[in-house]
């Protein structure tokens, strides 16, 4: 029989955001440094307790705006619920975690205690936040294969070469620009803007600019899997 104190102890509900962006050629996650115990001075995902008068998505958008001044989020989706009884010391806290994406051309002005960190070399994080960040990275990588979620990483207009750099950074391996254009064009995801970029210092032909045809999430090929070059057949 459960202990009466344990059975009636309050359970708190928090929302956490794994905010991802491709910056300086790598996929990064937004972390802020905790000022209070438990886990003071460790890096953590932005978020906080859910209010009685809001749903979880409203709450996470509010928390991002209030705590780390991030308002221009191109995509938000619920990632998972983390409910291990011992995930936090003290009172039990259940977390609804979200994957949030910021386009690569934006550079939000962040508070002094907040920084972008490379996902492949995360610092010491609070609680289970490292696992949540990795789960968000894996969700993004999977969805790049079978949805149009690339729109949420890209600027409004881009060259195929620039888009290849975004996909390569997010996936963690080098993507062929030719294959990427062929796959996305076959699915009807890209459309030309009618503009070209100026040649660089080395000269060459102007590169055509494209944009994503739709800026809302859609499954485009339910069984597609993007693989590193050595695993492709």
Q: Domain segments of the chain: what residues?
A: 4-144, 147-231
Phi-psi category of 93—alpha, beta or left, where left has phi over 0 and alpha has psi -120 to 50? Answer: beta
- pLDDT > 90 in the chain, percent: 82
Nearest to 27 by CA among 138, 115, 117, 156: 117
In contact, 10 and 94? CB cutoff 8 Å: no
**Do 4-144 and 147-231 share a fold?**
no
Say whether pLDDT at 122 is over 70.
yes
Please identify, in words, the CATH class of the domain defined by 4-144.
alpha beta
In contact, 108 and 93? CB cutoff 8 Å: no
Q: Looking at residue 202, what is its pLDDT?
A: 62
Q: Residue 6: which pLDDT band, with cuts at 50, 70 and 90?
A: low
CA distance 223 to 206: 35
Q: For the segment 49-82, what is each residue's pLDDT rounded down to a tens digit?
A: 999 999 999 999 999 999 888 999 999 999 999 9
Of the chain, the end-to-end C-alpha distance in Å amounts to: 57
Enter the pTM of the model. Answer: 0.92
CATH architecture of 147-231: Orthogonal Bundle (1.10)
Nearest to 206 by CA among 197, 195, 215, 214: 197
Q: For the segment 94-120, what is each residue's pLDDT rounded down to a tens digit?
A: 999 999 999 999 999 999 999 999 999
Q: Looking at residue 205, what is its pLDDT?
A: 80
* Mean pLDDT to the nearest integer, 160-170: 97
Say whether pLDDT at 1 is over 70.
no
Is the bond into 38 cis (omega within 30 degrees of 0)? yes
């Amino acid at each position: 029989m459960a202990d009466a104190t344990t059975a009636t102890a309050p359970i708190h509900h928090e929302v956490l955001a794994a905010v991802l962006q491709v910056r300086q050629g790598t996929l990064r996650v937004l972390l802020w440094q905790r000022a209070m115990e438990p886990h003071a001075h460790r890096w953590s995902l932005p978020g906080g307790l859910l209010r009685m008068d809001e749903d979880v998505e409203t709450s996470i958008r509010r928390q991002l705006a209030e705590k780390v001044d991030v308002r221009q989020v191109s995509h938000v989706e619920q990632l998972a619920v983390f409910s291990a009884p011992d995930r936090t010391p003290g009172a039990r806290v259940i977390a609804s975690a979200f994957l949030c994406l910021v386009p690569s051309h934006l550079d939000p002005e962040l508070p002094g205690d907040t920084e972008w960190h490379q996902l492949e070399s995360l610092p010491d994080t609070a609680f289970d936040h490292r696992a949540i960040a990795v789960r968000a990275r894996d969700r993004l990588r999977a969805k790049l294969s079978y949805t149009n979620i690339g729109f949420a990483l890209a600027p409004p207009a881009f060259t195929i070469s620039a888009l290849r750099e975004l996909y390569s950074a997010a996936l963690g391996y080098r993507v062929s620009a030719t294959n990427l254009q062929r796959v996305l064009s076959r699915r009807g995801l890209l459309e030309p803007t009618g503009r070209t970029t100026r040649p660089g210092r080395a000269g060459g032909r102007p590169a055509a600019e494209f944009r994503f045809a739709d800026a809302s999430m859609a499954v485009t090929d339910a069984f597609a899997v993007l693989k590193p070059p050595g695993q492709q057949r």
